[in-house]
Amino acid sequence: MTAFLAGLGFSAVAIFIAEMGDKTQLVAMSLATRYRALTVLLGITAATLVVHAGSVFLAEVLGAAIPTDWLTLVAGAAFLLFGLWTLRGDEMTENDERRAASRRIRSAFMTVFVVFLVAELGDKTMLATITVGTQHHWLPVWIGSTLGMVAADAIAIALGAALGKKLPERAIRIGAAVLFFGAGAVMLGQGAWMLLA
């Protein structure tokens, strides 16, 4: 049970941080201006469950193929890269926003689901889920990463509606990057320790 809670907590926090300032937050905000907030949250939740199921499956395959000490080193390096990626920022162009807003499918839920699913494929949070999944069991990572993603997007939608462009995006990016750098350094240290032991 302790390992389950550790995987759940770590993945939820890691993905919550990864989603801060990510382009999928901008997609969520854009969709929330056109559809009810509950519909957007449900669509995001469904899309996240699907994408992160694929992510934890990939993590399980990688975990079985690569020794744990090397996986820890790679995960640590990946978290440092996520920190740099977060500092650089992840913006949605006007074209991306128009495409996201103009997609019409049969229902608002399906529109949100498909747009968010496409936006999330290959995104930083998908890659972070794979990285965390190599360190913990797939089930708590799947649940935790989904909770972290939905929580971050729910906050972004609420704050975006209340504050508009007044959100301190740069401060959010820097804070998230510092957390990634810290996690990456710890994981690199653990990996190096396992290799030397």
**Per-residue pLDDT tens for 145-197?**
999 999 999 987 776 556 555 556 676 667 667 766 776 787 678 777 777 76
Q: b/e map of 1-11 (b: 16 or more CB within 10 Å)?
A: eeeeeebbebb
Residue with tokens 């939740």: 45
Query: Which residues 6+ apart lie within 8 Å of 65 measured at CB?
Result: none
pTM of the predicted model as reported, rounded to 2 decimal places:
0.67
Of residues 178 and 91, which shows the higher confidence score?
A: 178
Q: pLDDT by residue (tens digit) across 23-80?
A: 777 778 777 767 788 888 999 999 999 999 998 998 888 777 766 667 667 767 776 7
Rounded to 5°, the CA angle 47-111-116 comes to: 35
Residue with tokens 């103009």: 102
Q: Are 128 and 52 in contact (CB under 8 A)?
A: no
Q: Residue 168: is it exposed, middle or buried by C-beta count within 10 angstroms (0-12/13-18/19+)?
A: exposed
- CA distances in angstroms from 66 to 50, 89, 191, 193, listed in the order given: 25, 31, 13, 17
Q: pLDDT by residue (tens digit) across 101-137?
A: 554 556 889 988 988 887 787 778 888 898 889 889 9
Q: Are 104 and 36 in contact (CB under 8 A)?
A: no
* Helices (H), ranges, the chain: 2-19, 23-32, 37-65, 68-88, 94-102, 108-120, 124-133, 138-163, 169-196
Decide: helix, strand or coil at residue 166: helix
Which candidate, 30, 15, 19, places its Cα nearest to that of 111? Answer: 30
> Hey, what amino acid is at 103?
R
